[in-house]
Amino acid sequence: MPPRKPAPLISDTEERLSKTIAGKKPAKKPGKAGASLGPVLKACVETTPAAVDDATLVAIFERLRQADPEPRSELQFQNPYTLLVAVVLSAQATDKSVNLATEPLFAIADTPEKMVALGEERVRHFIRTIGLFNTKAKNVIALSRILIGRHGGEVPREASELEVLPGVGTKTASVVLNVAFGVPRIAVDTHIFRVSNRIPLFPAPTTDKVQAGLEARVPEPYRLNAHHWLILHGRYTCKARRPDCPRCRIADLCRYPSKTTDLTPISD
């Protein structure tokens, strides 16, 4: 038999090194970033200040009245029926876009009878530039038929009767009652909701609660026109993205903590 080849010699150092490598545990994976950055940071949330007191509330509305003694709705209408239709169409749309659509529409259909005779397809054609025009055309024809069948073609003066009409909710009913019939209701839209919570006149999480709170708080001499004053103030001064606080007539009475300031021009 041929002689067996001798095993290769391995030095003690190499042997120890190979054993160390073979038995070495894998390195631990690094922890998630920020795992050892200390305590969790909490964001500082700006709290809503308390509502203005009664004396300040009166002062606010007195200034709004002095600036605009006889405010008017910016929606164009000829009678309670056309007002009702215009307000229904104004949901998720601007008053300007509604007025552009309703001017030719109301010229030929200013009563429920004429609107039904016009038909849904032609109504849809007139209001096609307004958002959700398909649904709104159906609602206008449907509510017109109900007015003819149940109310003799007249717009009812009760909120409960208005709110069951297609496309009519609490806000729409309140606008019609206030503008057409002089009922002191404060219809709360996004503008009034923002203004009421900012000043704040009556802070609340929903439009229904804001309306109830405002109608309970606003003094009787101002209640009839409060809807117009607040919506115009929110539309042109207390705007959503950047309120025009430097030119606001009630800025010193308002408790909004994040008032804007005039921008200082950069000099050369």
Catalytic residues: 171, 189
Q: Specify whether the CB–CB gap between 85 and 102 falls below 8 A.
A: yes
Q: Specify whether the CB–CB gap between 261 and 246 falls below 8 A.
A: yes
State the Cα–Cα distance between residues 24 and 37, nearest whole angstrom.
30
DSSP class of 47: P
**Burial tier of 138 (Cβ tally within 10 Å: 0-12, 13-18, 19+):** middle
DSSP class of 246: G
State the Cα–Cα distance between residues 205 and 212, nearest whole angstrom.
12
